[in-house]
Amino acid sequence: MELIKLIGILIILVGFIFKFDTIAVVLVAALATALVSGISFVDFLTLLGEAFVSNRMVTLFLLTLPMIGLSERFGLRQQAVVIIEKIKGLTPGRFLTIYMFVRELAGALSIRIQGQTQFIRPIVNPMAQAAAENKYGKISTEDQEKIKTRSAATENYGNFFAQNTFIAAPGILLIVTTMEALGYKISAGAVVKASVVVALIALVLVGGSNILFDKKMAKKYCAKKGERN
């Protein structure tokens, strides 16, 4: 009879196989498991509510959706594009290299400006796209996607390689305590110094990659302009 308590797993497997609604499948599986385990429906709802309240921080990402809508509705994206269009000679690669530097500097100062949803999509990517169109004119959909991908990657590089350049970052504390538990004496300052070196190497590599990208774009679109002329 104890095996009946595993019915929730069976329900989840069947639901996923037949591609039923994921949330509905999980809730039905949880309810079935609770009932066969002797938990009343009221107690099940109580446990469900307590679990939701305890993990409510997970749902905070929903707050970013109206924020993005408001920023685009009231012209934040357009104003960012206008600023880029006024800067002569700015290429998408140069702009993204500048953002990489700013992103790493913000990480070193523990300033939270990053976020694919909150920052890259509504601001950084449109600015990079505007820099490309301002420099090369109308670009292809393929190149637009490349710039979009490069914008997202720049955020990831800056976040990953510069996250431990702030001495009070959680990663620093985790590294120090873990190493000390293993018998290695290490200071937070030493970890930060090593992280700064890694962040600078990442900046140079990203900058070099962006230079090559700009050269490919210039070669492609300057050649097309020559053909039209």
What is the tens place of the pLDDT at every residue in 72-99?
555 555 666 677 777 778 899 999 999 9
Q: Which domain holds residue 13?
A: 2-54
Q: Do 70 and 30 share a structural domain?
A: no
Q: Which of 37-46, 58-67, 162-171 has the lowest mean pLDDT?
A: 58-67
Q: Do 156 and 122 share a structural domain?
A: yes
* Residue 36: Cβ-neighbour burial (10 angstroms; 0-12, 13-18, 19+): middle
pTM: 0.64
Helix (H, G, I), strand (E, B) or coil at 77: helix
Number of domains composing the chain: 2
pLDDT at position 181 over 70: yes
